[in-house]
Structure formats: C-alpha cells, structure tokens
Amino acid sequence: MIIRLVSAALVAGFLAAVVAAGLQFALTSPLIIAAERYETQASTTAPQFASLVVRVHGGHDHGSKDPSVSGGEVAPEWQPGPGLPRMAFTALATLVGGVGYALLLGAVLLACGREPTPETGLRFAIAGFLAVALAPALGLPPELPGMEAAPLAERQFWWVMTAAATAMGLYLIALRRSPIAIAGGLVLLVAPHLAGAPETSHAASALPAGYAAQFAARSLGIAFVFWAVIGLAYGWAWGLFERKATAHA
C-alpha cells in the first residue's frame, strides 16, 4: 500500500510538474520579467530575481552594513540567475511541490475511505485547489516582483490558517453532510476572510495594474490545471500499479 501510494504520487507529481512548468514559462514568466524591468527602473540598486513558482513575490535585499564582513556589506541571498538556471530551479520546485501535493492527496483519499480513481482523484484535487490556491488568493493574490506586501510571517500564518480552515470546511460540507457539519463547514470557510488577510502598505508602484491582474489570473489558472492533472494522474497511476501487482501475483 505504501509503495503504491508513493509510486502513484511520483508519477502524478512528475506529470503535473511538466504541464505546470510549461504553462508557467509560457504565461507567467514574461510577466515576471517585465515586472523585474519596472522594479529595476524604480530602484537604484541591482534587482533581486524572483522565483517562477505559482506563488511569487520579489524581495528587496539591498545589503546592510556589517563590520565583520570586509567592506561592511552583507552579500545578498543567493538566487538562481536568469535564463536556464532559473528555469531549472523553477521546474525542480514545481516537481517537489507536485509530488508533495500528490502524496497528500493520496493520503486524504485513503483516510476518507475512497478508492483512488481518476474521477475521485479529480474531485478531491479540485477541493485541494480551492483550499490551497483559490481561498488564500481571495485575501492574498499572487504577487509580481516590486509589489508591496505584508510581512512574510503574517502572510504565511494567514495562508496556513485559510488553507486548513477551507479544507476542513469542505470536508464537513461534502463528506459529513449533516446539518450541523454543513453549518460548521460554512463557518470555517468564511472565518479566515472575516478575520482578514494581512494588509499591505498600499504604497504606489510603478508596475501597471494590468500586469498584476494578468499574473493573478494566470497563476490561478495554472494552479487549477496543476491540481487537476495531479488528481487525474494519481487515480490513473494507482490503477496502473494495482493491475501490475495483480498480474505479478
């Protein structure tokens, strides 16, 4: 069982990463490069290149004085260079995320007593997209480099809280289905948004608003395809490895 779970997750994660990485390079990479140009024009220091994963935010590390370092400057945090190195690290990060989410999807399917099939996998994958991507994006939409954002720790805490509450709410509504469970699920779905996401400083940005809107929409579209492929591929791979195990037996 464990071997089949891991094997199916590896297959699903790889296929989802291939599809998502291709869409990222075609749809979101040009927007990130354009945003970095605006960021460079608005700053007198060298730009910090952002990651090309679905959830993107460009940091600003202009160096700080440190008497223990020669010259008094702290070297900026290492990041992959533009071009092929950055594309390779982006694909690797997408692959790791795909396998991790596929493992989580398989574990949830088995814990809920559902036989992994492409249809069941797709339904649970859509729930995963709602919990991990869409619900958090209502308060914290995907961001381009150069956009103002709340402190990272606050955004991470709110993202985890929202994803967990949404997942539990969907479970209560879709699987438990009793009136009390449905009411509790609705409360969980709404609670993080009533609490509110961390607010930014709303400082003016040189980045055109259309770029940010396109990036958010494309990122969410890629995330949906990513999760859909994970669900379909996991169900297919599970059945494939089951048939192979039966044939060998």
Residue 47 near residue 36, CB atoms below 8 Å:
yes
In angstroms, the Cα distances linking 224 to 33, 55, 132, 157, 189 are 23, 13, 10, 23, 19
Cβ within 8 Å of residue 86, ≥6 positions away? 49, 51, 52, 80
pLDDT value at position 205? 63
Mean pLDDT of 39-64: 46
Give the model's pLDDT for residue 51: 42
> pLDDT band for position 203 (50/70/90)?
low
Q: What percent of the chain has pLDDT above 90?
A: 60
pLDDT for the residue numbered 88? 83
Whether pLDDT at 178 is above 60: yes
Query: What is the token pair recorded at 195?
Result: 């609490």
Q: Which residue has the tokens 């055109």?
A: 208
Q: Quick one: average pLDDT of 20-26?
A: 94
Q: Whose CA is closest to 98, among 86, 109, 87, 90?
A: 90
Classify residue 221 as left (phi > 0), alpha (psi -120 to 50) or beta: alpha
The whole-chain average pLDDT of the chain stands at 83
